[in-house]
Structure 1
Amino acid sequence: MTPGERSRPGLLLRLSFLLPLLLLGGCHPDRGVHNARFLAFGTLVDLTIADVSREQAEAAVSAIEQDFQRMNRAWHAWNPGPLGRVNKLLETGGWFPAPPSILPLVQRGKALSAASDDLFNPAIGRLIEAWGFLRDDPENGRPPPPERIRELLQQNPRMEDIDIDGIRMRSRNPAVKLDFGAFAKGYGIDLAVAHLRELGIDNAILNAGGDLRAIGSRLGVPWRIAIRRPSGSGVLGVVEVEGDESVFTSGDYERKFEWEGRRYSHIIDPRSGWPARGTTSVTVIHDDSTTADAAATALFVAGPDHWYRLARRMGLRYVLLVDDSGTLHMNPAMQRRLQLVDDDRKIVLSPPLTDP
């Protein structure tokens, strides 16, 4: 989850309320596999916990549901809450105490923005808003006037405009408006997995709308993760995950609208102010979800000609990019892990991302 991406429903994701958890049970009555599902960040969240008792799984699920409720309230892009208050204070240019729910996201956002050459830029909330993606019904949108896009680009809001001094922060650019949609889901998953570990859960998979982090294994068997086709339906391929890894995909099928016969994606290129072109999806496998989420957005914007340089800069090891012709671009390590379902696609293999 795009400089403005995942402005994915609300959190860019349409961050919405959470439904009561439904524990679906496991395939074994004791210390088996337990599944739960709820709604958060505008998408279904599936939590699978393995090798614990039903009682321990239920307690963990309840705790994680509450975590997501708190994150929903704190990070919502347009509903009243801490993020909205921070954005109003950033306009003033003065110092103010940063809410503890927001400050860590700003710190990570600054670091990831710098690492991505600002192709991941959570400061362009006004641009995302102009495109109509900071609302629940972006499918009814239309492109903003070109002069409005030029105006917002000239203001050049960047994460480096934000100064942090201890727990205080300010913006030297009043045009900065934070939108955490492009990586809040990843950050939230990382927090939730850390909480699971504190609760004694060592084998689990937390999947939010197809973006996930897996720890341990499924009763000794690696987790098998399906990667969606760029169309948004069906399976492109499968990877196995064991230990602790995150798998995140940014795609132009996630939040979009059509206007006069042309489709406009929520993944905005902060350099042009228009939806990024040339890419239909990017999948990143990485150690932590926050980096994987932000990197998938940045590489989507970089496109098929420049993703490799940026992936090396960001320290990535496994990348798959599908361009708008359907060609698969990936590094050799990713090719070795990916079991393609569509085996007739053209593949462009990059040099290795890591040095021997």
Structure 2
Amino acid sequence: MSKRRCFGILLGSILFLVCSFSCFAQVLVKRQMMQMGSLFDISVVAKDSVQARMEIDQAVAEMERIENLISEWRPQTQVSEVNRNAGIRPVKVDREVFELTKRAISYSEMSGGAFDISIVAMDKIWLYDGSMTQMPDSLAVRKSVEKVGFEHIVLDSVNSTIYLSRHGMKIGFGSIGKGYAADRGRAILRANGVKGGIVNASGDLSAWGEQVNRKPWNIGITNPFKTRKLVKVLKIRNASVATSGSYEKYAEIDGKRYSHIINPRTGYPSTGLTSVTIIGPGAEFANALSTSIMVLGAEEGLKLIRRFPEYRYVFLTDTGRIIRSAKL
């Protein structure tokens, strides 16, 4: 039986999929698309490629539906409506948006405020397009922090409304929205009978089942300090992986790099960790943990992740030290 091997870049320079397959009856069907401003990648194992493409269509439609609910960039979404009415009035939203916001607030509480969906109010302070050549004014940073605070997101469960109690506040789901989309995509495909695949939402992925060759999915974690060297290859079947990192998107000022991951409490970029990878049942929660830990740092981050034994971790510090779970 002839064999083929493939090496497909899946997750940019943070994570990638390593796969090999033989001429089994099943095939691997893949599709890439732009969603939520990022590259998404869906791979499914199926016996019929035509049917597989139809199943992928449904997963893509689900992700588009989610973006039309929670994007803060599309003016017609419910989240945009919430932001426009900050300090003015509560906005009625679908129960799905309400529950996602409620979970986001719970992530803020569990992390002591290291995670906060209202951080997007600071989106004009730090720029990561190469145009930023000097530190922002400290007064401007302090003023922007005044608009940040999950405590000022008021939820009314009876009426399903969200109210941002301060003028200028905004919420956004860039930190967990892609993980949520990956989890929903996996749920749709599994419900439709797809036995194996990966939904990769630009680095936040949810996998299930096995490769065509009946082996687990191999997810490599790269090391930015050592080109072409992997920190770890994860072998997963039914699991999600999310990575937050500071080395792909940053501002460089006077020779120093400043991460795009901001500490909501100070308004300044997080330091100490270069990347955090979390492995566990769900991509949404894994990404909430990875973002929180990037802000908390290694010591406090370990205290947090150890509260959730079903999740594993790989930390890479700014000095290149690797901190990982005893069992991966």
Instruction: Provide the TM-score with structure 2 as the length reference.
Output: 0.84
Residues 202-217 of structure 1 aligned to structure 2 (within 5 Å): 202-217=195-210
Correspondence for 1:292: 286
Distance 1:28 1:36 in 2: 20
CA RMSD of aligned residues (A): 2.4
Correspondence for 1:187: 180
Distance 2:226 2:241 in 1: 16
* Secondary structure in structure 1 of the residue aligned to 2:113: coil
* Secondary structure in structure 1 of the residue aligned to 2:198: strand
Change (3 A) 1:212 1:303: same
Correspondence for 1:132: 127
Distance 1:314 1:174 in 2: 36
Change (3 A) 1:74 1:254: farther
Change (3 A) 1:292 1:263: same
Correspondence for 2:13: none
CA contact under 8 A between 1:122 and 1:159: conserved in structure 2? no
- 1:141 correspondence with 2:132: yes
Correspondence for 2:268: 274
Structure 1 unaligned segments of length 5 or more: list them: 1-25, 338-356
1:328 aligns with one of 302, 322, 327: 322
Distance 1:100 1:232 in 2: 45
CA contact under 8 A between 1:230 and 1:281: conserved in structure 2? no
Distance 2:289 2:324 in 1: 14
Correspondence for 1:90: 86
- 1:74 correspondence with 2:55: no
Change (3 A) 1:258 1:80: same
Distance 1:129 1:180 in 2: 17
Distance 2:308 2:141 in 1: 28
CA contact under 8 A between 2:241 and 2:280: conserved in structure 1? yes
Residues 233-272 of structure 1 aligned to structure 2 (within 5 Å): 234=228, 235-242=230-237, 244-272=238-266
Distance 1:131 1:87 in 2: 20
Distance 1:231 1:91 in 2: 45
Letter in 2 for 1:251: G
- 1:229 correspondence with 2:223: yes
Distance 2:201 2:98 in 1: 23
CA contact under 8 A between 1:163 and 1:169: conserved in structure 2? yes
Residues 36-75 of structure 1 aligned to structure 2 (within 5 Å): 36-75=31-70
Distance 1:199 1:164 in 2: 34
Distance 1:71 1:140 in 2: 32
1:157 aligns with one of 128, 133, 149: 149
CA contact under 8 A between 2:60 and 2:185: conserved in structure 1? no
Q: Which whole-Å deviations, capped at 9, do the CAs of 1:31-79 have from their partners, x for residues lacking one?
A: 3222222222333222111133112211011112222223333333334
For these two proteins, the number of residue pairs brought into alignment is: 303
Correspondence for 1:19: none
Distance 2:38 2:24 in 1: 29
CA contact under 8 A between 2:181 and 2:201: conserved in structure 1? no
Q: Which whole-Å deviations, capped at 9, do the CAs of 1:216-270 have from their partners, x for residues lacking one?
A: 111321111111223596333201001x210111100232222332222210011
CA contact under 8 A between 2:182 and 2:204: conserved in structure 1? no
1:210, distance to aligned residue in structure 2 (A): 3.2
1:103 aligns with one of 98, 103, 126: 98
Change (3 A) 1:228 1:176: same
Q: Which whole-Å deviations, capped at 9, do the CAs of 1:334-353 have from their partners, x for residues lacking one?
A: xxx3xxxxxxxxxxxxxxxx
Distance 1:117 1:232 in 2: 33
Distance 1:285 1:233 in 2: 23
Distance 1:233 1:319 in 2: 21
* Secondary structure in structure 1 of the residue aligned to 2:166: coil
Correspondence for 1:114: 109
CA contact under 8 A between 1:115 and 1:314: conserved in structure 2? no
Distance 2:38 2:301 in 1: 28
* Secondary structure in structure 2 of the residue aligned to 1:306: helix
Change (3 A) 1:31 1:307: same
> Matched residues, percent identical?
26
* Secondary structure in structure 2 of the residue aligned to 1:169: strand
